[in-house]
């Protein structure tokens, strides 16, 4: 892959991704301004945007010959037990920190949340780990040093794009960026070590489903967050720190090899 092609593809993808996220947020705000606050409508908007991102991500993955590196084909799942920690720890954190679940939530809302969580898992894994991380690894080389740098770069980008909402105050935004970056490091090394992206998608979807279960069916305006205090932001970062440490453990404990 020549330098010009690499940067052209990377730039096109990032611009397309950011444009999609901005348009999604703008459309959601316009719905709110027009008095449309239905949980189902706003969640379906999110699902639609995620489906579009899935298509874009897969197109770039296939066009750049990344199906193998991205863990979509030609490889077998390895060391599956390494997926137990993120599933139990992160999903468990979400359970412990969630508000009381409304037992009157209708089944259609739960099903919509399930579809939304699955669409988030697929779109975020295909876009960040599937294309972005794999594209950088493919270009800069498959040495352990370059793989590590690629994973951290993709994870940092994953964290930064969470600033698009900017609805939690400065402390909340910083903590969210760090939280997402730590998760990104863990998931990035899990893909390199386990070789398959599908299990990561499932784990990611389960984590998101549990995280949003207590807000299923709540009108969107009631879900808009208050500014996060510095104390809560600190706790969020501390609770997310084991994910970063687990990612570093994977980096040091397991050989980082991209099979041909």
Residue at 175 is within a domain? yes
230-256: pLDDT as tens digits: 888 888 899 999 999 999 999 999 888
Q: How many domains does the chain have?
A: 1
Give the C-alpha separation, 73 to 160, whole Å.
29
- For residues 190 and 86, the answer to whether their CB atoms sit within 8 Å is yes
* Residue indicated by tokens 């699955």: 118
The confidence score (pLDDT) of residue 99 equals 64
210-221: pLDDT as tens digits: 988 878 877 776
Range of the domain at 135: 3-253
The confidence score (pLDDT) of residue 103 equals 59
CA proximity to 151, closest of 256, 56, 66: 256
Residue 6 burial (CB < 10 Å; 0-12/13-18/19+)? middle
CA proximity to 116, closest of 215, 253, 17: 215
* Residue indicated by tokens 């900017």: 166
- For residues 81 and 12, the answer to whether their CB atoms sit within 8 Å is no
Residue 102: band (very low, low, confident or very high) from pLDDT cuts 50, 70, 90: low
Residue at 259 is within a domain? no
Q: How far is CA 51 from CA 134, 190, 211, in A?
A: 20, 24, 20
Q: Give me the helix-helix angle, 169-194 and 144-160, nearest 10°.
A: 150
Token pair recorded at residue 248: 């570093």
- Residues above pLDDT 70, as percent of the chain: 92
């Amino acid at each position: 892959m020549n330098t010009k092609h690499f940067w052209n593809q990377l730039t096109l993808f990032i611009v397309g991704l950011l444009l999609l996220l901005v348009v999604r947020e703008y459309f959601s705000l316009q719905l709110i301004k027009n008095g449309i606050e239905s949980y189902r409508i706003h969640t379906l908007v999110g699902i639609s945007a995620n489906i579009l991102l899935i298509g874009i991500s897969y197109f770039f993955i296939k066009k750049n010959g990344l199906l193998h590196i991205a863990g979509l084909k030609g490889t077998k799942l390895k060391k599956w037990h390494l997926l137990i920690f993120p599933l139990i720890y992160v999903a468990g954190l979400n359970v412990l920190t969630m508000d009381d679940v409304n037992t009157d939530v209708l089944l259609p809302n739960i099903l919509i949340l399930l579809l939304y969580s699955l669409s988030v898992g697929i779109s975020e894994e295909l876009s960040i780990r599937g294309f972005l991380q794999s594209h950088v690894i493919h270009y800069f080389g498959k040495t352990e040093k370059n793989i590590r740098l690629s994973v951290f770069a993709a994870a940092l980008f994953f964290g930064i794009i969470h600033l698009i909402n900017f609805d939690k105050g400065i402390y909340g935004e910083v903590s969210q960026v760090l939280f997402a970056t730590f998760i990104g490091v863990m998931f990035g090394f899990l893909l390199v070590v386990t070789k398959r992206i599908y299990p990561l998608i499932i784990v990611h979807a389960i984590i998101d489903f549990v995280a949003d279960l207590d807000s299923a069916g709540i009108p969107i305006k009631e879900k808009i967050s208050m500014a996060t205090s510095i104390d809560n932001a600190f706790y969020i970062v501390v609770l997310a720190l084991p994910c970063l440490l687990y990612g570093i453990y994977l980096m040091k404990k397991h050989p980082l090899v991209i099979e041909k």
